[in-house]
Amino acid sequence: MKITTTLSAKTDKHTQKSEILLRLIVGKINGKAVAFRAKSRIFVSPERWDAKEGTIQTDIRTTKIMSAQKRKEVEEEKQALQETSDNLSALISEIKSKFLATPVEQITKEWLEDVIDRYRFPEKYEVKEEKPAFFATLDLFLNKHKLSEVRKKNFRVIYRALQRFEMWNKTTLDLDTITQETLRDFEEFLRMENTFFQKDEQSNKWSCINEDYKAVYEAYPETRTPQARGQNTINDIFTKLRTFYLWCIDNGKTTNNPFRHYKIEECVYGTPYYITIEERNQLYNADLSARPQLAIQRDIFVLQCLIGCRVGDLYRFTKANVINGAIEYIARKTRDNRAITVRVPLNAIAKEILERYADHGGDKLLPFISEQKYNIAIKEAFKLAGITRIVTVRNPTTGEEEQRPINEIASSHLARRCFVGNLYKQVKDPNLVGALSGHKQGSKAFTRYREIDEEMKQDLVKLLE
């Protein structure tokens, strides 16, 4: 089963919008392909429709040359487009949910039109107040609960995993009947899902090797093939799911709490590894003139080491974030809880880097590339700079310690650890360092930096001589 979307060629002369059309591909029945088309009752302007992807374009950019009124109008349109996109996603989820609960011989064009009509205009069929379906409630939570866009995306990954779990287990998730046993079954599914795939070493591509599971993954795919999930990842998924359930209870959606007797384990992290100030300077001074594009990303990484921000915040920086010799921003991860401005003064190296790229095109602070390519560039720059020392890390999947060259595991977050680790090593004051790194007061992250470093250990041992 699969659902595709297209936009009608007809445009309403009053609203200048066209209707989104749905195509439900049932599959083959008795050797014959079966598919049905229907109108979604959802409309969007053709200029905001991505015909290639079959999605609504919600990312409309504002510019400084726009008037305040124009920016307001753009923001209102972005919000309306996001609501329309969410409505479309919710409708498709409803159709898939109803499809799973309906015998395939009953799936017809009339059935599809009825499902759409009942979902879009429930008041026509309302006899008594009905309890919303599990995924419809989860959609409501994502739309009503105050969440950052990053957290919404994380919830959507869990959303799709729950849909695959429901289809794989041939069950229907219900807010009132989910138990701790259901949660344990979901945890088992999360741990085993990666075993349904196999990587072809020649093509470097993953393919599903479980015939029974193929239809499940085709119905609810991911942009990245599910990999083995470690305990910390499992913990994070269930912590978010518990947040959803507590919201449901607080808002009268259910009185059932399957987490009452379900224990979520504490996350376990290894001692953070980070590069020293000497290694940072070694990287910055490395001759990468033969690789000018790599040198640019090296400079961006060094700047990140000097301001300590998360990569998500870094990529949002524009030239306007540089104010009176410092970088100023509100950390995206914490801005919903406390909108406190982080101000990090720029040292000589940071100023040198910003001056080097002051004339690059665009409003962005630096010539950024995709985060994935940025992480690849960091690893390569480390290797060429000769920063390859062995560090002990905790394997996030197995939980076992292992030794790896630091260049192989370097990423953008290592810049943040470089900033925090080297500052904390000097002052041992989490609140002072947190004021520069954007950590909230009392953050548990600093407990991992309290390990006595090797230099201090050597000084202690010398006392025995």
Please give the pLDDT value at position 165: 96
175, two tokens: 């807010």
Q: Quick one: pLDDT at residue 427?
A: 67
Give me the residues paired with residue 402 across strands: 393
Domain ranges of the chain: 1-129, 131-268, 277-462
- Position 460 scores a pLDDT of 55
Determine the Cα–Cα distance for residues 387 and 379; give it in Å rounded to an integer: 10
Q: Ramachandran region of residue 399, left (φ > 0), alpha (ψ -120 to 50) or beta?
A: left
The answer to whether 317 touches 329, Cβ cutoff 8 Å, is yes
At residue 378's C-alpha, the angle toward residues 374 and 381, to 5°, is: 130
The number of C-alpha atoms within 13 Å of 47 and in the hemisphere containing its C-beta is 4
For residue 405, the model assigns a pLDDT of 94
Instruction: Enter the DSSP assignment of 400.
Output: -
Q: Return the structure tokens found at 350.
A: 């940071």
What pLDDT is stored for residue 452 in this prediction? Answer: 43
Tens-digit pLDDT string for the chain (465 aa): 899 999 999 999 889 999 999 999 988 777 788 899 999 999 999 999 999 999 999 888 767 677 888 888 888 888 999 999 999 999 999 999 999 999 988 999 999 999 999 998 888 887 655 567 999 999 999 998 888 777 889 999 999 999 999 999 999 999 999 999 999 999 999 999 999 999 888 888 889 999 999 999 999 999 888 888 888 899 999 999 999 999 999 999 999 999 998 988 876 666 678 899 999 999 999 999 999 999 999 999 999 999 988 898 999 999 999 999 999 988 866 544 556 788 899 999 999 999 999 998 889 999 999 999 999 999 999 999 999 999 988 877 777 788 999 999 999 989 988 888 888 777 656 556 666 666 565 556 655 555 545 555 565 566 665
Contact predicate 217/194, CB 8 Å: no
Instruction: Give every CB contact of residue 146 below 8 A, 6+ residues apart in sequence.
Output: 336
Amino acid identity of residue 159, one-letter, is: Y
CATH number of the domain located at residue range(s) 277-462 in this protein: 1.10.443.10
Task: Map residue 139 onto helix, strand or coil.
Answer: helix
**179 and 185 Cβ atoms separated by less than 8 Å:** no
Other Cβ atoms less than 10 A from the Cβ of 127: the count is 5
